[in-house]
Each structure stands twice: as structure tokens, then as C-alpha cells.
Amino acid sequence: MKIAPLQVLVTGATGRTGSLVVQKLQQLPDRFTVRGFARSCEKVEQLFGTTAGFYFGDIRDRAALTLALEGCQALVILTSAIPQPQGVPQPGQRPSFIFAPSETPEAIDYQGQINQIEAAKAAGVNHIVLVGSMGGTDENHPLNRLGNGNILIWKRKAEQYLINSGINYTIIRAGGLLDQPGGKRELLIGQDDSLLTNPPEGISPSIPRADVAELVVQALLEPDARNKAFDAISKPEDAPNAIITKDFAALFVRASYQ
């Protein structure tokens, strides 16, 4: 008996990682029917060549989310507040950043994600995959100082809300994101920033966006990814004795339940 494709909504679908997730899901039409949720029609046209299958709106607009989630079994959250450069840095100075008043991490990464979780719950979604960031255990992490937004703190609070929501979840806390090809590295998973504070020798706490996107796809397919939250980084392509990760079921088994 043929199994119907899983209906999935991806929010943040025009982001650099979100667009990769949408593309990967589109390449598996027997397993997934994918919808994208974005703000900009023009950006969707630019990235995908069509707006078919996309819904448009703000993640804080419950009505827009309700329409997009109708009939979906899974939701992938890839939305995030984005700081903007403030002024022109002087020679020798680091650039400074600011969040627009309505686009703060509290508004987007906390309230916006809560709105998505609640809309998904009301729509009968049974699995949410949330892509977050490593560093959430450190209040003094440099990313928290960007625009005084405490972005990692708000992300971690939204993660906890999801864990407590009663919906099946997978939380992927990615290391530093690299714009490099995926499928060429050994992936490592850990808990509560252990790979950030004490990474294996010679390995930086980073991971290609394409590998994060593949983790999302596999998390939707593998039962052992459910109700787990974990950090994810990768070994360099040329790391000695590295084994390219292909068995994602085994990888998820090694992740701890929260």
C-alpha cells in the first residue's frame, strides 16, 4: 500500500537555510508535499521561479499561518530575527548592529515561534522541526550582544515552549553555518553546547547549511529523531578517519531525549 506524502510547511522559506530545506523536500515528491511560508513574493520568484505552493504573510499573523498549515502533518521552523548594520564603521572598528523595533529577537524568535507552535497545534500538526543555534546556555555569548537582542536566550526560551507544548518535536541547534556543499562530512551531535565549549581537537563548531537542511529532512523521516534536542557540527572534509554521515537513523539514536 502506497503511503501518502507527508504535507510539510516550511517557514522562513526564503532564508539561506530555509530555501535549501524547501529544495530538498521538493526533490522527494514521493515522500513530501512541501509548502513554503515567506514574506516576499519577489524573493520567492527569484529563488524558486514560481510562487506555486507558497503562502505569504507574517509569522505573527495567526490567520495567515492557519491558512498555510491547513492539512499539514509537519511544520519546519526556520525563522529568525536578522540584525541590520548601524552606520558606517570607522577604520579599525567593528561594525555595530541593531534590530528594528518590531523585528527584535523577542518578537521574532520568541513570540513569533510561539505563534507558529500554537497555530500548528490548532491545525493538528503532529511534528515540529525547529532549527536553532548553539550557544543558548551562555548569556554572554557574542551573538546575544548584537543589537542588545539576547537572540540566543530568546531562541532557547522558544525551544523550551515547544518541548512543553505536547507536540512531537525535533530541535536542531546548529553550529556556525557555512555556505559549503553538504553530504561530504562526518556530522557530530552533542548536548547543551558541549561541542562549543569543548570541541574535539582540530574541529571548529561549524556545519554547512546544506547538512543542516539534510538533518531537517531526515528528522521528518526518522522516528528516532522525535522528541529530541541536540547540537550539530561537522568535521572538516579532510579530517583524518572521518566517515561521511549517511546513516541518520543511527545518528539520531545517539541524541539524548530532553
Strands 228-234 and 187-190: antiparallel
CA atoms within a 13 Å half-sphere pointing along the CA-CB vector of 109: 24
234 as an active site residue: the answer is: no
Amino acid at 221: L
DSSP state of 72: -
C-alpha cell at 61: 499573523
The conformation of residue 245, written as its DSSP 8-state character, comes to -
Closest residue by Cα to residue 214 from 167, 181, 241:
181
Q: Are 11 and 75 in contact (CB under 8 A)?
A: yes
Where would I find the H helices in 97-193?
A: 105, 113-123, 142-145, 151-163
Cα 123-258-73 angle, rounded to 5 deg: 20
Whole-number Å distance between alpha carbons of 150 and 131: 17
Which of the following is catalytic: 19, 80, 133, 234?
133
Going by the DSSP 8-state scheme, the letter that residue 188 receives in this structure is: E
195 neighbors 153 (Cβ within 8 angstroms): no
Cα atoms in the 13 Å half-sphere on the side-chain side of 26:
14
Q: Per the structure block, which three cell numbers stand in for 97? A: 548592529
Residues involved in catalysis: 133
